[in-house]
Structure 1
Amino acid sequence: MRLSAIVVFLVFGPAFIGAAFAADQPNVLIIMADDCTFSDLPLYGGRNARTPHIDQIASQGLTFEHAYLSEAMCQPCRAELFSGLFPMRNGCNWNHSASLPQTTSMPQHLGKVGYRVGIAGKVHVLPKQAFPFEKVGGFDSNCVRNPTQACDPGSVREFMSRSSEQPFCLVVALVEPHVPWVMGDASAYPPKQIKLPANLASTPKTREAFSRYLAEITYMDGQVGTLMRTLAETEHDDDTLVLFTSEQGAQFPGCKWTNWDTGLHTALVARYPGVVPAGKRTDAIVQYADVLPTLLELAGNKPGESELDGSSFAGVLKGNAHSHRKYAYGTHNNIPEGPAYPIRTVTNGQYRYIRNLQSDNLYIEKHLMGIKGNGQLNNPYWQQWIFDSGSNPGAYRLVQRYMQRPAEELYHTQMDPYELRNLASSPAAAEIKSELSQELDRWMKSQGDPGAQQDTPQSHQAAKAGNHRFRAPMTTEKQSAD
């Protein structure tokens, strides 16, 4: 059989690979939320939102306790997920920029092994030639539309059922709960009854905004249910690997646009009947860059050691391994979301070390802290934090934490999940701080990361034009698995 397959390949070429090997390859459905803090989901201890469909996927699959993305902004994290490369190597180090023109991604990698690769909903990656997904309709692609267009699974159904000979990989990138928070039934979450996370100031405006955000989470969960029903209707329920992920944190202070855990930590749930253990959780550390190499291994084509930054966690998915990475890494370049404020971080899943490269600057994020136009995409809760800061010590501490940050931060995230107690100057934490600091140095060097020079208007504009100022090495020194 192996000889026959080789002969088929030589005679008919790569285009025949899908028909030759599809029987051994899973279909893939990746469902992405947009700006959803992982810990606001009941699956990760969230005390408010109701998400029955996500919970059902988890009951039938594997939940990752320690999944991370490298940059808590929409475009960079998607570029990492789709390319298997960290921001320096794919080139997307900022929001509203572009990856390197020569970047290759899911469509090229999975296309070589016979997959049809499509995307529905929000795309938000550039340039187009680096991410040549087949566009699939039915889900709103505009994350700031008010109201969001109702979904129609017809195009997704057609894509899933188009061919029984060729496997598919479909990304459905939903636009909730990205601001504006206008979808769903906010009355189901009375503001006074909400249990706010510890990193948000308890004010009436915060509670009202959080109510609308929770309603959008439940609305998003309803779309997850629609997709899972469509998968079952096309009779691909049992031969499809489903991955649900929440992307980066929500547009609240300390989540999106930060290197704190509530920014970079993401939900990740995998479901694949008969392959992925059902109703289990894993402490294995994984990053978005690891998803593509995992899919390639499951498809029977493990990439070369230096081809991607990520590495396959297929063994974890199958229940054959219980660890993957020793560390996960993060980066933040604030332009064009505000003035320069470069940040780098590393975590081992228990402790997080953060380095603010220009800590003398004030941290400003214009969307969260400012108002533009009619203010529809902004929320007045930040102004209430400022107004109340003189009489509300808790609000003042959170404002200070957000805008004035020390050069180094260290948190025992496992014990302090909202990272409110900085241990960087604690003698008892000196050893772990030194370990993580050295590992961050190693990673930045391996990535060719220039640090603060990256967070400049010149670097951002050069990237948008396809002329990136700084390039990562062609090969990187990979971290070994645990």
Structure 2
Amino acid sequence: MDRRNVLKAIAGAAAMSAAPLRATIAAPPRRNVLLLISDDQGLDAGCFGVDIKTPRIDRLAREGTRFSQGYATVSSCSPSRASIYTGLYTHQNGMYGLEHDVHHQSLLPGIETLPAMLRRAGYATALVGKKHVGPDVAFPYEAELVPERGGIRDVHELSVAAASFIRSNDDRPFFVTIGYSDPHRAAVDYGNDRVWPDVKPVRYDPGRVPIPSHLPDLPAVRQDLAAYYESVSRLDSGIGMLLDDLAAMGRADDTLVIFLSDNGRPFPGAKTNLYDPGLHLPLIVRAPGMGASVNDAMVSWVDIAPTILAWAGAEGPDYELSGQSLLPLLGKSGDAARDAVFASHDFHEINQYYPMRAIRTRDHSYILNLAHPLDYPIAGDVAGSPSWRAIVADPSIRLGRRTQASYLKRPAEELYDLRRDPNELTNVANDPGYASVRAQLAERLRARRAATRDPWLAGQTDPYSHVGKSE
């Protein structure tokens, strides 16, 4: 069945199921949830000021609240997804690194997740596409559709599977998560080596692609970015299909739609880093009855679970979550009280131990590198990328304006004045003029780590416990 007939069938089924209700009494409003997670997408979409083609994401932004200051808690896939699902930082929930293969990280016993809590509240729950978190018992989705371990790039199949699940569970509210594989790197060219069903490829001229500030202008980097942007545009097509399906089923007006990415783009200087390109990511929330807006409150991925629980009226866990609901911010332009976000990284791959903690405010970024004598590790997919291979071929080539030497060997503390240095290039941690700022941020970070029971804060596991304190 082609897509046009699929949509007709969906619309017909929705009309048939709604007819008896119209004849008697209006049904109470539904509180459905659609969570859309892109994979390794930086702040790359037209609505975020990047000159690429993402008309469906842009449309969603015009219909909902686009958060201009949305931040992941960590720039690594499994840990970030775990924070989204649990409302806890990675050092709290135990998902210290990647879940798959030999890395084998997983949630600690007793940590509750959105699919478990919403299923307990009577929701029909499904995961469509990429999972990449564990253990399986902690994520009791009723259905895992298109469940290839690493997800797939057939956005049409993902959309049809999600619509079929929603249609077949019309008697209950739904919580459906779509785990896209785009724009994560693929074995061949971001999956751009074939034509996908119902997707018109968007090709990018390497000579004209926008180059992020953390990357050098090299031919290999331009080619790499062109392929990455094509994958972002395919993701955009899939989101459009899904939102069209939702409208055809009559569910657009009772569904909370959240779109975000798990971590920064898969390039050096972004993915696995706690610098802005690794953490500062797209977040759009569309809620029925809420006006459109651009909101500049500093919000975090630990806020996603509290938002969904509040929307659903579902009971949370018997412990305190680290985030807070975004619902009061929808349709508004900001919240001065939300003036900082925190980040926590432990591993990416199992052999890439490099614990970091960070606090970002509107004016400053402060990063603690807890194992700073180690070289900074490079994620496997980034290390094998055309961009990284071209960069390391000549040690004099910079990552944007950052030297390779400073990227690979980092100090115990990093402090950046974002007003003067938005690209985080000049470390002022030891500048006497910033001593009070450093002390204030170090204390805020220490207090947050203590409140969230960071295991790396204990003296016996933190050989650099003097860092951040006055000598």
Which residue in 2 is equivalent to 1:14? none
Query: Which 10-residue stretch deviates more, 159-168 or 62-71?
Result: 159-168
Amino acid in the other structure paired with 1:111:
R
1:357 aligns with one of 353, 370, 383: 370
Matched, 1:125 2:129: no
Amino acid in the other structure paired with 1:183:
G
SS in 1 for 2:128: strand
Which residue in 1 is equivalent to 2:53? 50
Q: Tell me if structure 2 keeps the 8 A contact 1:139–1:150.
A: no
Distance 1:352 1:253 in 2: 19
1:190 aligns with one of 205, 212, 227: 205
Matched, 1:73 2:94: no
Which residue in 1 is equivalent to 2:403? 398
SS in 1 for 2:178: strand
Q: Tell me if structure 1 keeps the 8 A contact 2:61–2:284.
A: yes
Which residue in 2 is equivalent to 1:216? 231
Distance 1:412 1:452 in 2: 25
SS in 2 for 1:119: strand
Which residue in 2 is equivalent to 1:9? none
Distance 1:85 1:394 in 2: 32
2:297 aligns with one of 259, 284, 290: 284
- The alignment of Structure 1 onto Structure 2 pairs a total of residues equal to 420
- Structure 1 position 444, deviation (Å): 1.6
- Structure 1 position 164, deviation (Å): 3.8
From the superposition, tell whether residues 396 and 186 of structure 1 become closer, same or farther in structure 2 (CA, over 3 Å): farther
From the superposition, tell whether residues 34 and 335 of structure 1 become closer, same or farther in structure 2 (CA, over 3 Å): closer
Matched, 1:41 2:45: yes
Q: Tell me if structure 1 keeps the 8 A contact 2:95–2:107.
A: yes
Amino acid in the other structure paired with 1:314:
L
1:199 aligns with one of 204, 214, 221: 214
Query: Which 10-residue stretch deviates more, 421-430 or 379-388?
Result: 421-430
Which residue in 1 is equivalent to 2:89? 86
Which residue in 2 is equivalent to 1:310? 323
From the superposition, tell whether residues 404 and 444 of structure 1 become closer, same or farther in structure 2 (CA, over 3 Å): same
- Structure 1 position 369, deviation (Å): 5.8
Query: Which 10-residue stretch deviates more, 167-176 or 191-200?
Result: 191-200
From the superposition, tell whether residues 234 and 416 of structure 1 become closer, same or farther in structure 2 (CA, over 3 Å): farther
Distance 2:96 2:398 in 1: 36
Distance 1:152 1:136 in 2: 11
From the superposition, tell whether residues 129 and 186 of structure 1 become closer, same or farther in structure 2 (CA, over 3 Å): same
2:360 aligns with one of 347, 363, 384: 347
Amino acid in the other structure paired with 1:35:
D
- Structure 1 position 251, deviation (Å): 1.4
From the superposition, tell whether residues 89 and 439 of structure 1 become closer, same or farther in structure 2 (CA, over 3 Å): same
Distance 1:44 1:358 in 2: 34
Distance 2:327 2:161 in 1: 30
Q: After superposition, what is the alpha-carbon deviation per residue over 1:195-224, rounded to whole angstroms, capped at 9, x for unaligned?
A: 311110111111111111111011111111
Q: After superposition, what is the alpha-carbon deviation per residue over 1:213-242, rounded to whole angstroms, capped at 9, x for unaligned?
A: 111011111111111111111111111111
Matched, 1:226 2:241: yes
Q: After superposition, what is the alpha-carbon deviation per residue over 1:375-399, rounded to whole angstroms, capped at 9, x for unaligned?
A: xxx2132222122334x46678432
Q: Tell me if structure 2 keeps the 8 A contact 1:91–1:99.
A: yes
- State the identity as a percent: 30
Matched, 1:59 2:62: yes
Distance 1:155 1:332 in 2: 34
From the superposition, tell whether residues 153 and 437 of structure 1 become closer, same or farther in structure 2 (CA, over 3 Å): same
Matched, 1:156 2:162: yes
Q: Tell me if structure 2 keeps the 8 A contact 1:286–1:324.
A: no
Which residue in 1 is equivalent to 2:19? none
- Structure 1 position 150, deviation (Å): 5.5
Q: After superposition, what is the alpha-carbon deviation per residue over 1:151-171, rounded to whole angstroms, capped at 9, x for unaligned?
A: 253321122223444211111
Which residue in 2 is equivalent to 1:249? 264
- Structure 1 position 140, deviation (Å): 5.8
- Structure 1 position 413, deviation (Å): 3.4
Query: Which 10-residue stretch deviates more, 421-430 or 217-226?
Result: 421-430
Normalising by structure 1, report the TM-score: 0.80
Which residue in 2 is equivalent to 1:170? 176
Distance 1:149 1:428 in 2: 52
Q: Tell me if structure 2 keeps the 8 A contact 1:33–1:175.
A: yes
Distance 2:236 2:458 in 1: 40
Within 5 A, what are the aligned runs for 1:105-120? Answer: 105-120=113-128
Amino acid in the other structure paired with 2:219:
P
User: Unaligned regions of 5+ residues in structure 2, if any?
Assistant: 1-26, 100-104, 193-199, 462-471
- Structure 1 position 345, deviation (Å): 0.5
Q: Tell me if structure 2 keeps the 8 A contact 1:337–1:366.
A: no
Amino acid in the other structure paired with 1:430:
A
Which residue in 1 is equivalent to 2:279? 264
Q: Tell me if structure 2 keeps the 8 A contact 1:358–1:452.
A: no
From the superposition, tell whether residues 386 and 133 of structure 1 become closer, same or farther in structure 2 (CA, over 3 Å): same
From the superposition, tell whether residues 163 and 360 of structure 1 become closer, same or farther in structure 2 (CA, over 3 Å): closer
Matched, 1:422 2:427: yes
Distance 1:61 1:149 in 2: 22
Q: After superposition, what is the alpha-carbon deviation per residue over 1:41-64, rounded to whole angstroms, capped at 9, x for unaligned?
A: 2222223x2100000000111011
Query: Which 10-residue stretch deviates more, 214-223 or 260-269?
Result: 260-269
Distance 2:352 2:334 in 1: 43
From the superposition, tell whether residues 229 and 429 of structure 1 become closer, same or farther in structure 2 (CA, over 3 Å): same
Distance 1:133 1:319 in 2: 33
Distance 1:394 1:298 in 2: 42
Amino acid in the other structure paired with 2:413:
E
Query: Which 10-residue stretch deviates more, 223-232 or 96-105?
Result: 96-105
Q: CA RMSD in A?
A: 2.7
Q: Tell me if structure 1 keeps the 8 A contact 2:216–2:398.
A: no
From the superposition, tell whether residues 347 and 425 of structure 1 become closer, same or farther in structure 2 (CA, over 3 Å): same
